[in-house]
Structure 1
Amino acid sequence: MTKPDNLLGFGIAESSVRFRTRGETVLALVERVLDRIRKSRTDTDIIGVLAEISASLGFRSGFVIEYATDLKSALHILDSNPQREGWLQDYVATGLRTNRSELAALLAEGGVQTFDGSRFDAESRLLSFARRVDIVELVLVPVSFDGSVIGLGGFSGNPPLTDGQKTALQLVVYSLFAQARSFRAGVSRAATEPLTPREKEVIRLSADGLTSQEIALQLGMSPRTVNQHVDNVADKLGTRNRVHTVAEVIRHGLLN
């Protein structure tokens, strides 16, 4: 597999993931998992990948959540732990979640965030709930596009992770999320013509999480021109929105 200068446009240099995990380099792990993600065609396939990456990095299980606007509800949840089914709905319905702004602030920090039992009161209902669904020890990876948080990846457990493993985890979560969303966004057609160098730059920076305004400042163009480049790529791929466009560009390897 050809390795791009920055893996799939997420600004992750190859040298930053050359660490070993359970007998293989993290780069090899990423390539193996991304190949499986690209071949995934169903939610069940994605759940299998979640189980694989969890086992490879020492987690007990993993999940991805796509949120509705303003984090009011979950649009879609995929979880490698079948015993956790319905846990988020229970969390909301039982009144354990009382403040969406706290979740929004937490996710806005980005990166890879690690939590343990110290965030709970010893006898709280929330701690009891977290134990039941195995999220006392938890690693979260927020997912954002165009400046907005749209979901997260979560992993049960708190194994020691190198910086390279954290970088790999972010890349895998974004790719899992994009692939899972593509199932519900409709089947796109492969590009009939290659992307221009400028279109690649815009999509690459969009995948890095930059807004149109930020991309415009970096590339010396107007936000309107940035959006036009995205629209041009969407026309080539037959995609429906910016997130779907970025996901399909990554899925088809068009940044190489």
Structure 2
Amino acid sequence: MTNETAAFPVRAGARQMLNKVPEVTVYFWVIKVLCTTVGETAADLLNENLGLGLTNTSLVMAVLLIGTLWFQFRAKKYVPGLYWLAVVLISVVGTLVSDNLTDNFGVALETTTAVFAVVLVAVFAAWYGSERTLSIHSIHTVRREAFYWAAILFTFALGTSAGDLTAERMDLGYWVSAVLFAVLITAVAAAHYGLGFAAVPAFWIAYILTRPLGASFGDYLSQARADGGLGLGTVGTSAIFLVLILALVSYLTVTRRDATPAPVSPSEG
């Protein structure tokens, strides 16, 4: 997706910062999909392969996420390594939130998908009602950043439930499910670029859809051949994608190609 609409005025007294999130470039979407894949495979790795169990895995990852977000909120600008670490962790936590409801409490995937969709809409409504914008090019106050990360959490939870619903409950399989969500993302992009569909809703719809896309792709790579996957395992798949994420984030840290330029003051213009 291309850049969203310009920033809106900030309420008086709000603590000003540089924009705290990356520009929407091809790097953004590539790393986002990689993070969603890691979120799916790493959750399975910790829960099943390392024997932590769903509850213990959820507690450990929640603590790590809270600690990372504490540093993220204290930062005054976008820091690639810190930001994408938070995305990786929130991807894992979002997956675990959905898995806990379905596995530990027996809530149907149809129900979790609907509930997360309603909660996400409520977050967006509260965000827009408070700030009059959902643009990620204006995340430069604590309030807006709080809305942003709440929305991110529920996009991952919703995407997990929707991906599991199509791949497992509807029995489409991982590969077909991944293709389905890729087609939907392509349709959103076509509507934006070809038909003038607004950038902000196009961005958030695509952001939601990349979660089940990455999860389905991750399951396809990691699950056993007997279960419809390629049998690479959660360890191998997680390692491959973490290395790719690290390489791309390191590149962006050096080049700053996805950082929002600092605003020019009137005296400099």
TM-score (norm 2): 0.29
Which of structures 1 and 2 has the larger relative contact order (alpha carbons within 8 angstroms, sep 6+)?
2
TM-score (norm 1): 0.30
Higher percent of residues as helix:
2
Higher percent of residues as strand:
1
